[in-house]
Amino acid sequence: MTSLYQGCSQKTLAPLATVCMPLDAAMACCPACVDRRPDLCFMLEDLAVVGEFRGFLTKTNALALAIGVIIGAAVSNIVSGLASDILMPVIGLLLPKGDWRQLRIVISKVTDAAGKTSENAILYGHFLGTVLDFLIIAFVVFLIVKALVKPAPAEPTKTCPECLEKVPVAARRCRACTSALN
C-alpha cells in the first residue's frame, strides 16, 4: 500500500485510507519533513480535491453533459456549414437580390470628413438567416435524438374490476378503491 506522502523522507505516515498522524495544517504535509524538504510532500488538500472531483464526475452526469456539449458544438458547426454553404446559395437564387443575408433597412447614413461612410441599419437578413440556422440545427438534433433515444417500456398493468383504475400487475389491492385484486 502506498503512503499518503510518497516522496516523504519520513516513512512513518499511515496509508492513504487511514491518516492518523497529526499533519501540519498550513501545508497539510508531514510535520517531520516539512522544514527540510517541503517539495517532496504531496498536498493533502490537493489529493482530497482530486478524489472529490473524480467522485463528482463518476457519480453524476457531469461527464455525459460535457461530452454532450462538445458533440453538440460539433454538430452545430456541421449543420451551420450545411445551411450556409449548401442551402443558402440555393435559397439565394430564388430571391431577387441573391445574397439575402445582407438585407438591411438603413436608418441613417453618415459620411465623415475623410469620406468614409458609416451606416446605422437593421440587419434583418442576418437575423432571418440565424433563425433559419437554428431551425435546421433543431431539426437535425431532433432526428438524432429520435433515432438514438428510445422510450422506456411501459410497466405492465391490469385494470381494477371495481373502479377501472390501472394498477401494476403485481398489486394485490387497488390503490384507488382498495378492493382485492385477483
pLDDT digits (tens, 9 = 90+) for 113-143: 888 999 999 999 889 888 887 888 788 878 8
What is the distance between the alpha carbons of residues 19 and 13, in angstroms, rounded to a whole number?
7
pTM of the predicted model as reported, rounded to 2 decimal places: 0.44
Convert the pLDDT of each residue in 10-56 to its tens digit: 444 444 433 433 444 444 455 555 455 454 455 555 667 777 877 77
The number of beta carbons lying within 10 Å of the beta carbon of residue 160 is 20
Convert the pLDDT of each residue in 63-101 to its tens digit: 778 888 888 888 888 877 887 788 777 877 777 666 777
| Side chain identity, residue 50 | V
DSSP state for residue 9 in the 8-state scheme: S
What is the distance between the alpha carbons of residues 64 and 82, in angstroms, rounded to a whole number?
26
Q: What is the pLDDT of residue 107?
A: 93
What domains can you pick out in the chain, each with its CATH number? 1-60 (no CATH), 62-148 (1.10.1200.120), 154-182 (no CATH)
